[in-house]
C-alpha cells in the first residue's frame, strides 16, 4: 500500500467535487426502471458512462447454451419468463500502466419490482431528503454503481496512473440468481485477480461470504373425491401438513446445529437464524366441494458456508422420505421434489486475503469506524468469482435501508464514503505508478 497521503487526499477532493454529479448519475439510473428482465435502458446508460471513461465497451447477451454445462448454472426465473434476448451485460477494461494486480468492479443493474402504493414517493424518481436518497435501487445497488463510477472518474481527474488493469462491468439478473450476469461475464473472460461488488453491506463492514440459496417445489399427491364421499379420497392437504411440520422441525434442528458468526456480526438479530427454511407458497385443490387431489409447496432454503448444495438437498430429501415412509398413502404415492430457480452455493473469502484486508483498511480509514467481516446470510454474485474461478470477491458498499421494500434508501454521506473507499481499494490493490 505504497500510495501517498497526498494522492489519497487529491482523489478524495475530486470525489467531493463530483458528489452532485454522482447523485445525478444515480438519479438517471433509478429512472430507468430496470426490473430484472428489463435491464436494457439502464445498460445503455452504463455503456455510455464506460465510454466516457475512455474504455472500449463490450455489450453481450448471455448465451444459455454455453452456460448450461457450467456447475454454477441454473435456469433463472427471469430466463424462463423472458429469455436473455435484449438483456445485454456491459463490460469494459481500463488498462493499467504496469504489471499490478487487476481488479474487477462489478454491479448489477437490475432491481426488484415495486408496490407503488406502499411508497411515500415515486419509486422511479430519486428523491433527496436531507442526507437521504430514496428510490428503487438507490442502495441495491445503483448507489454502489454510481460510487464506483465516481471513484474511477476521480482517479482519472486526479491523474492517478494505476499499475494494474480495471475491469468495469454492469450485469443483469442478480436478483434472479446472476447466472446470465456475473457468471456470463466470467465465462466471457473477465477474470481479474480480485473483485469488489459495491452491494449495500454498509462500510466499514466488508462482505466476505454469501449464503447458499435454493428454491424447491414439493408436489403432494392425493386422490380427489366429492366432499360428501371424502372417505373415498385422500386429502392431499392433510398430507402436505405432515410435510410442513417435518420441514419446520428440520428448520429448527438446523438452526440449533448451524452457526456462522460472520452472518450476524453486524446485526445481532440474525443470531440463531443463519440458516432458514421457508415454505413461501402453497397451492392446492380445485373447488370447495372436492377433496384436494394435489397440493404444491414452494420453498426456499438458505444457509451459510459449510454445506454443499448436495448435502442440503439430501437433508431435505431425507426429511420428505421419512414422512412418506411413515404414511401409508405417501409410501405408495411419494411426494415429488424438484429444484427450480435459485440454486446458489455459499462462498467464503479468506479473511487474510489481500482484497479483504485492503478493503477493510480502506473502509475504516474513510469512515473512521471499526469494520467487521460480515456476510453469509444472502445469496450473492460474489460466489461465482470464488467458487468457480478462485477469485476473491468482496462486497464493499453503502448503507441501505428497505432493500426490496418500499422507500428503499441510502445516504449521500454513505455513497461518498463508498466512492472514497473504492478509490483507495483500487489504488492499494492495483498499485499507483506515479507514487
Clarify whether 174 is annotated catalytic: yes
Is 50 a binding residue for a copy of itself by CB under 8 A? The answer is no
Q: Within 240-269, which residues bind a copy of itself (CB under 8 A)?
A: 241, 244-245, 248, 269
- 241 vs 351 by CB, closer to a copy of itself: 241
Identify which of 136, 148, 294, 133 has the alpha carbon closest to the alpha carbon of residue 224.
294
Q: Check 12, 14, 58, 110 and give the catalytic one.
A: 110
User: How many residues bind to a copy of itself according to rule CB under 8 A?
Assistant: 47
Is 116 a binding residue for a copy of itself by CB under 8 A? The answer is no
- 187 vs 408 by CB, closer to a copy of itself: 408
Identify which of 72, 434, 37, 363 has the alpha carbon closest to the alpha carbon of residue 201.
363
In the stretch 336-355, what mask flags binding to a copy of itself with x, by CB under 8 A? Answer: -----xx-------------
What is the nearest approach in angstroms of a copy of itself to the Cβ of residue 400? 14
Please tell me the distance from the alpha carbon of residue 231 to that of residue 294, in angstroms, as a whole number: 16
Q: Check 174, 193, 327, 408 and give the catalytic one.
A: 174
Q: Within 183-222, which residues bind a copy of itself (CB under 8 A)?
A: 211, 213, 215-216
Written as one string, the DSSP assignment of 105-165 is: EEEE--B----GGG-SS-TTS-EEETTEEESTTTTTTHHHHHHHHHHHHHHHHTTPPBSS-
Identify which of 126, 70, 4, 156 has the alpha carbon closest to the alpha carbon of residue 411.
126
Identify which of 177, 212, 171 has the alpha carbon closest to the alpha carbon of residue 80.
177
- Reduced to 3 states (helix: H, G, I; strand: E, B; else coil), residue 283 is strand
Question: 231 exposed, middle or buried (CB, 10 Å; 0-12, 13-18, 19+)?
Answer: exposed
Is 298 a binding residue for a copy of itself by CB under 8 A? The answer is yes
Is 383 a binding residue for a copy of itself by CB under 8 A? The answer is no
Per the structure block, which three cell numbers stand in for 285? 385443490
- 259 vs 435 by CB, closer to a copy of itself: 259
What's the gap between Cα 162 and its chain centre?
28
DSSP lists the bridge partners of residue 194 as: 103, 392
- 60 vs 287 by CB, closer to a copy of itself: 287
Clarify whether 95 is annotated catalytic: no
Give the catalytic positions in this structure.
110, 174
Q: Which residues bind a copy of itself (CB under 8 A)?
A: 211, 213, 215-216, 226-232, 235, 237-238, 241, 244-245, 248, 269-270, 273, 276, 278-292, 295, 298-300, 302, 341-342, 377-378, 404
Amino acid at each position: 500500500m505504497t500510495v501517498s497521503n497526498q494522492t489519497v487526499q487529491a482523489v478524495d477532493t475530486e470525489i467531493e467535487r463530483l458528489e452532485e454529479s454522482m447523485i445525478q448519475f444515480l438519479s438517471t439510473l433509478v429512472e430507468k426502471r430496470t426490473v430484472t428482465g428489463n435491464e436494457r435502458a439502464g445498460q445503455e446508460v452504463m455503456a455510455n458512462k464506460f465510454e466516457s471513461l475512455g474504455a472500449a465497451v463490450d455489450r453481450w447477451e448471455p448465451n444459455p447454451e454455453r452456460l448450461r454445462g457450467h456447475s454454477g448454472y441454473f435456469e433463472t426465473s427471469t430466463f424462463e419468463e423472458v429469455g436473455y434476448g435484449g438483456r445485454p451485460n456491459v463490460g469494459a477494461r481500463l488498462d493499467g500502466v504496469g504489471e499490478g494486480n487487476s481488479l474487477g468492479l462489478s454491479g448489477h443493474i437490475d432491481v426488484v419490482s415495486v408496490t407503488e402504493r406502499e411508497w411515500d414517493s415515486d419509486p422511479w424518481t430519486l428523491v433527496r431528503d436531507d442526507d437521504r436518497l430514496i428510490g428503487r435501487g438507490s442502495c441495491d445497488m445503483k448507489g454502489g454503481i454510481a460510487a464506483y463510477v465516481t471513484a474511477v472518474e476521480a482517479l482519472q481527474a486526479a491523474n492517478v496512473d494505476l499499475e494494474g488493469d480495471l475491469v468495469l462491468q454492469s450485469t443483469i439478473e442478480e436478483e434472479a440468481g446472476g447466472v446470465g450476469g456475473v457468471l456470463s461475464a466470467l465465462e466471457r473472460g473477465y477474470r481479474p485477480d480480485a473483485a469488489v461488488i459495491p452491494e449495500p453491506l454498509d462500510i466499514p463492514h466488508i462482505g466476505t461470504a454469501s449464503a447458499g440459496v435454493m428454491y424447491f417445489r414439493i408436489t403432494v399427491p392425493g386422490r380427489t373425491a366429492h366432499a360428501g364421499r371424502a372417505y373415498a379420497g385422500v386429502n392431499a392437504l392433510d398430507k402436505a401438513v405432515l410435510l410442513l411440520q417435518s420441514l419446520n422441525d428440520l428448520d429448527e434442528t438446523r438452526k440449533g446445529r448451524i452457526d456462522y458468526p460472520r452472518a450476524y456480526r453486524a446485526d445481532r438479530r440474525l443470531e440463531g437464524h443463519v440458516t432458514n427454511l421457508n415454505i413461501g407458497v402453497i397451492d392446492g385443490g380445485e373447488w370447495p366441494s372436492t377433496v384436494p387431489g394435489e397440493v404444491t409447496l414452494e420453498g426456499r432454503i438458505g444457509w451459510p458456508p459449510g454445506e454443499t448444495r448436495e448435502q442440503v438437498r439430501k437433508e431435505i430429501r431425507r426429511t420428505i422420505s421419512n414422512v412418506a415412509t411413515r404414511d401409508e398413502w405417501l409410501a405408495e404415492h411419494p411426494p415429488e421434489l424438484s429444484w427450480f430457480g435459485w440454486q446458489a452455493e455459499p462462498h467464503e473469502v479468506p479473511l487474510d486475503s489481500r482484497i479483504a484486508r485492503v478493503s477493510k483498511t480502506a473502509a475504516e480509514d474513510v469512515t473512521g469506524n471499526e469494520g467487521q467481516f460480515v456476510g453469509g446470510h444472502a445469496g450473492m454474485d460474489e460466489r461465482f468469482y470464488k467458487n468457480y474461478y478462485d477469485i476473491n470477491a468482496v462486497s464493499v458498499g453503502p448503507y441501505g435501508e428497505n432493500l426490496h421494500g418500499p422507500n428503499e434508501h441510502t445516504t449521500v454521506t454513505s455513497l461518498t464514503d463508498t466512492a472514497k473507499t473504492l478509490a483507495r481499494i483500487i489504488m492499494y490493490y492495483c498499485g499507483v505508478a506515479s507514487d
